[in-house]
Amino acid sequence: MPAVEIRDIRKTFRDFLGRRRVHALDGLSFSVAAGEVYGLLGPNGSGKTTTFKIALGLLRPDAGSVSVLGHAPGTLAARRATGYLPEDSALLPFLTARESLRLHGALAGLSRAESRRKTDELLEKVGLKQAADRRVLGFSKGMQRRLGIAGVLIGDPQVFILDEPTSGLDPLGAVEMKHLIADLRKQGKAVLISSHLLGELENVCDRVAFLNQGRLISAGTLEELLREKETHELRVSPADPDAIMALEALAKERGLKVVRSKAPMRSLEAFYLSVLGKDQAK
């Protein structure tokens, strides 16, 4: 049984007078298994958030069916099994971070002691220990994101639905988020995430689906979708110019075309993380 199964859902938003205005979803189907990270990619307004809300039972689809661990969405069983991080964090601004998490804990049915213990643990984990007793009002977007994810984690759900989890996070936060998602996968949770930034999903998702105007335009594992079958990349070390020239010559001799040959660049992210690491080590 898949953790989340979405079959042929359609959703049209109507205006006040009941006229059809936006075809937000137009026959969307996919499913997410336990222990799998599934990414929804698509431009703004392509229907990612709408899909999530339907999976949570916050919106009702016009047609199609949804099940979460075999339950209808919105039922108590489905709600208990699901953790949702909304696009805009949805926090009560005048509560402190600690109080917010306690509220989440109480709603998730934890005992007082357990809620207290988990709150401290999670504040540490998401790096908000210093800000634990500050009001959410003054938090940056990234801090709110971190608090939001802690709130989702406190109930230990089976299915995670994270709407643009990395938006607003600093690069370190984004990397931590990716580690966290990888952890969840290891624990056998099903994770459904969305993003409009392609690079973000690349390293975390097992499978991705591309949405446009409410329709699935392509889906599959990263391997299937991204593998370039025509070319091959070979990295050597050390970067000895003579040996490389010889390799290129050999390639030409064998009838291959050398498409690119240059010193690889580190990504800006990798560089940032390495300098930050050095700075923090000081």
Partner 1 sequence: MIVRVLAIAAATLRESTRSAPVRLAALLLLLCVPVMAWLVGDGEDGRVWAARTFTVEGLRLVLPLAAAVGGAFVLRPAARAGWALLPARRGEWFAGAALAGLGMILLSTALFVSGAVVMAPGESARVVRPVRATGLVAAPGTATGAASPADRHWADPNKGQALTFAFVRPDTAQLAGEVEFELVWTQEAAPARGVPFDVYVLAPGSEAARVKAEARSLSRRRASFSAAMPAGDALHVQLVPNDPVLIVGVAEQGIFLDGGRVSPLPGILWLALLAVAAAALCMAVSLWFRSWSTAPTAALAGLLLLAALTLLPGIAPTGRMAADRRAAVESDKDAMQVLESAAAQLPELLPSAAFDAYLRGREVVPTPGEAARRGLIALALLPLGAVTFRRRQIAR
Ligand X SMILES: Nc1ncnc2c1ncn2[C@@H]1O[C@H](COP(=O)(O)OP(=O)(O)O)[C@@H](O)[C@H]1O
Give the binding site for Mg ion (CB under 5 A): 48-49, 87
User: What's the DSSP call for residue 135?
Assistant: B
d(CA 171, CA 160): 22
To the nearest whole angstrom, how small is the minimum distance from the Cβ of residue 40 to ligand X?
A: 8
To the nearest whole angstrom, how small is the minimum distance from the Cβ of residue 147 to ligand X?
A: 21
Binding mask 37-66 for ligand X (x = CB under 6 A): -----x-xxxxxxx----------------
Smaller CB separation from partner 1, 40 or 91:
91
Instruction: Give the dihedral of Cα atoms 12, 14, 20, 23; nearest 10 deg.
Output: -30
Smaller CB separation from partner 1, 104 or 185:
104
d(CA 98, CA 105): 10
**CA quadruple 149, 151, 155, 160: dihedral positive or negative?**
negative
Q: State phi, psi for 168 to the nearest 5 degrees.
A: 85, -10
Answer yes or no whether residue 83 interacts with ligand X by CB under 6 A.
Answer: no
Answer yes or no whether residue 24 interacts with ligand X by CB under 6 A.
Answer: yes
Smaller CB separation from ligand X, 42 or 165:
42
- The DSSP string of 77-124 is HHHHHEEEE-TT----TTSBHHHHHHHHHHHTT--HHHHHHHHHHHHH
To the nearest whole angstrom, how small is the minimum distance from the Cβ of residue 61 to ligand X?
A: 13
d(CA 138, CA 96): 10
Answer yes or no whether residue 195 interacts with ligand X by CB under 6 A.
Answer: no
Region of 212 please: left (phi>0), alpha (psi -120 to 50) or beta: beta
Answer yes or no whether residue 13 interacts with ligand X by CB under 6 A.
Answer: yes
Give the residues lining the site for partner 1 (CB under 8 A).
13, 50, 53, 56, 58-60, 76, 79-80, 82-84, 86, 90-95, 99, 103-104, 106-109, 135, 151, 155, 157
Q: Which residues contact ligand X by CB under 6 A?
A: 13, 21-22, 24, 42, 44-50
